[in-house]
Amino acid sequence: MSGASTTQAVSRSVAELDWSARIAGLVGALSLLAAFAAFIVRPGAVVFPAAVFAAVALYGWFTYQAETARSLTFLATASTLVILGVITVYLFVQAVPIARRMGASLLTSSTWDVHANRYGLATMMWGTLITTIIATLVSAPLGVAGAVFISEIAPKSVREAVKPAIELLAGIPSIVYGFIGFVVLNSYMMDLFRLPTTGSLFIVGLVIGVMALPTVISVSEDALNAVPNAMKDGSVALGSTDWQTTKSVSIPAAISGISAAVILGVGRALGETMAATVILANVTTLPEPLYDVFGNTITLTSAIASQYGVAAGRPMQLSALFAAGVVLFIVVLALSIVSQTIERRMQQTLGGEQ
C-alpha cells in the first residue's frame, strides 16, 4: 500500500468515528504528551496524566476496541523510536564537555588521571578490541559448527535435546559466567602461566565467547534452515553425499545469514559488562607489550560499570564515561546495520530477488 493510500485509509477511519471517540482520542493524546513533559520537568507529577491516559485507554478498549488496539500498537512502536532518540541525544550531550576539553586525544590518549581531569579512552578501546577478537575466535567456529550439526547432521532426538540446552545457556546471567571465570579459570591460568595479577583479557574473551555461542548458533541455524529443500534435494539427486550437500550447497547458500550471526555475536561481546567487570581489575593502563593477552587492563563496559559510582562527584570523569558509552553505541549500531544488510541480502538471494 502506498503512502497516499495509507493516509486516505487513516482519514476515512477517523471520519467514521463518532464525537465521543474523537474526544477520547484527543484526551488520550494530550495526557500522554503531558506525562512525557512531566517526566522531563517534574517526574513526581507523571502519575496524574498517566492515570488519565490509562482511564482513556480502558474506556476505548471496551467501546472502540479495534481503534484502541490500533492506536496502542502505534504508540508502542513510536515510543520505541522516541526512547531510542532520547537515549542517543542524552549520551551525546553528556559526552560534549569531555570532548571539548580533550579533543581528539580523547580517543588517542591512554591517560586516565582523575586528579588532573585528563581522560583518554585508548586503553579501554584496546581492551575491548582484544577481548572481542578472542571472543569471536571462540564463538564463530564453535557456533557455526554447532549450527551445522543441529541443522544438518544431528538426528531429531538429539536436536530436540540440544536446542533447549542452548537456550538454557543463553538464559544464564552474565554475572554467573563472570564469577565462574574469575574463580575457576582465573585460578587455573595463574597456576599454569604464573600470572602476576588476577584476571586477564584472555579469560574475559574466552568467557564472553562462550556467552555469545547461543546467539551465533541460533541465528546460523535459522539461516541454514532457510535454505530451500529443493536445493538440497537436487544436490542429493545428482549423487552428492549428505556432507557434500552441506558443505557445497547449504553453507554457501546460508553464508550471509551465518555472517550476520557472527556479527551479532561480536556485538554481544562488545556490549558485555558484568563478566568483564568481575574478571578484570580496574587497571587503566595499557598492557606491556600491547599484544599480551594475559595482561590485565580494562574495557569500555567494565570502566563504566566500575567507575560510575565514584564519578558522581567528578563531572569530567562522568562525561568521559558517557563518551565511552557513545563509542560503544556507535560501534554496536554499525555492527547492527551491517548484520541487517547481510541478512536482507541473504533473503533476496534465497528468494531469487535482485
In this structure, the number of other CB atoms found within 10 A of the CB of residue 100 comes to: 10
Domain range summary for the chain, segments of one domain joined by + = 3-101, 112-351
Cβ 132 vs Cβ 207: under 8 Å: no
Encode the chain in three state secondary structure. Answer: CCHHHHHHHHHHHHHHCCHHHHHHHHHHHHHHHHHHHHHHHCHHHCHHHHHHHHHHHHHHHHHCHHHHHHHHHHHHHHHHHHHHHHHHHHHHHHHHHHHHHHCCHHHHCCCEECCCCEECCHHHHHHHHHHHHHHHHHHHHHHHHHHHHHHHHCCHHHHHHHHHHHHHHHHCCHHHHHHHHHHHHHHHHHHHHCCCCCCCHHHHHHHHHHHHHHHHHHHHHHHHHCCCHHHHHHHHHCCCCHHHHHHHHHHHHCHHHHHHHHHHHHHHHHHCCHHHHHHCCCCCCCCCCCCCCCCCCCCHHHHHHHHCCHHHHCHHHHHHHHHHHHHHHHHHHHHHHHHHHHHHHHHHHHHCCC
Element (H, E) at 273: none
The CATH code of domain 112-351 reads 1.10.3720.10
Q: For residues 257-272, give the mean pLDDT.
A: 82
pLDDT band at residue 92 using 50, 70 and 90 as cut-offs: very high
Residue pLDDT, tens place only, 192-241:
777 766 778 888 888 898 888 988 998 888 888 888 888 887 887 888 78
3-state secondary structure of 298: coil
Residue pLDDT, tens place only, 19-53:
667 777 777 788 878 887 888 788 778 888 888 88
Residue pLDDT, tens place only, 236-250:
788 878 888 888 888
d(CA 297, CA 292): 10
Q: What whole-number percentage of the chain has pLDDT above 70? A: 90
- What value does the mean pLDDT of the chain take? 81
Q: For residues 157-163, give the mean pLDDT.
A: 85
b/e per residue, 215-250, with b = 16+ CB within 10 A?
bbbbbbbbbbebbeeeebeebeeeebeeeebbeebb
pLDDT above 60: residue 299: yes
Cβ 263 vs Cβ 88: under 8 Å: no
pLDDT above 70: residue 6: no
Handedness of CA 87, 90, 94, 99 (dihedral sign): positive
Question: Which residues touch 75 (CB under 8 Å, ≥6 apart)?
Answer: 32
The pLDDT score that the predictor gives to residue 93 is 92
d(CA 178, CA 104): 33
pLDDT band at residue 323 using 50, 70 and 90 as cut-offs: very high
Residue pLDDT, tens place only, 49-76:
888 888 888 888 788 777 777 777 888 7
pLDDT band at residue 354 using 50, 70 and 90 as cut-offs: very low
pLDDT above 50: residue 1: no
For residue 214, cis peptide bond before it (omega within 30 degrees of 0)? no
CA nearest 147: which of 211, 206, 214, 205?
214
In this structure, the number of other CB atoms found within 10 A of the CB of residue 68 comes to: 21
Cβ 195 vs Cβ 279: under 8 Å: no
In this structure, the number of other CB atoms found within 10 A of the CB of residue 104 comes to: 8
Q: What is the pTM of this model?
A: 0.78
